[in-house]
Amino acid sequence: MIRTVSLALACCVAACAPAVKHDPRLSSAPLAERLAAADANTGAAIFSRCAACHTVTQGAGDRGGPALYGVVGRPIGRGSDRFNYTAALEAVGGVWTFERLDAWLTDPRHFAPGTNMMFAGLPDGMDRADVIRFLNENGSNLPLPTPSPNSRPAR
Ligand code: HEC
């Protein structure tokens, strides 16, 4: 335990990644539940891990990855006009729903085998929910799914 804590501290100092403590029961809750509990400001901090490759503000351009302003609800692998998407991502079809973003951010290479998004994924379900809420608040503003009253984690 002590070793885990000091390891986490060392990683934090090294990578300067935000260390957010989430309730582990919430981290594995259904997506609607997680999104309802998510916080866009925490998502903004988590987005610092994406910002080397992505912009998210209106009018900002592509980097190593496509511009993400308004990405929720946008066609998958086609939304940023000038970006050269892989055939793998283009072939997925449909639009970025909350669910599909959650799956993509869990494991990009599993979601679209052959993608060149060199990012391992966010294993914590609340990290994903926070960052998806942040993305939604930057140009999409789609209504969040309603959590089912039966799916609440036991308290
Ligand atoms: C090392 C660079 C890199 C990092 C870090 C990265 N991405 Fe990406 N991202 C890419 C690339 C490249 C693509 C295009 C992939 C393709 O065409 O297969 C992409 C595609 C995407 C897409 C699809 C956009 C569309 O128009 O269809 C989303 C959403 C996305 N990234 C979100 C994120 C989020 C959120 C993070 C951080 C948690 C992140 N990415 C981290 C490089 C990166």
Phi-psi region of 77 (alpha: psi -120 to 50; beta: other; left: phi over 0): left
Give the pLDDT of residue 153.
55
- Residue 44 has what pLDDT? 98
Q: Which pair of structure tokens corresponds to residue 107?
A: 């494991």
The pLDDT confidence band at residue 21, using thresholds 50, 70 and 90, is confident
Closest to 92 (Cα-Cα) out of 106, 75, 107, 74 = 75
Q: How far is the CA of 38 from the centre of ligand 1 (A)?
A: 21
Is-contact 121 108, C-beta < 8 A? yes
Q: Are 134 and 98 in contact (CB under 8 A)?
A: no
Higher pLDDT pick, 8 / 65: 65
Q: Is 60 exceeded by the pLDDT of residue 92?
A: yes
Query: Of all residues in the chain, what percent carry a pLDDT higher than 70?
Result: 84
Place of tokens 């302003």: 69
* Ligand 1 center from residue 71 Cα (angstroms): 11
Q: What are φ and ψ of residue 58, in 5° steps?
A: -60, 130
Residue 151 to residue 153: CA distance in whole angstroms: 6
Which of the listed residues 47, 48, 53 should we mutate to test ligand 1's pocket, taking the one with most ligand atoms within 8 A of CB? 53
Check residue 57 and give left, alpha or beta (phi > 0: left; psi -120 to 50: alpha).
beta
d(CA 54, ligand 1 centre) in Å: 7
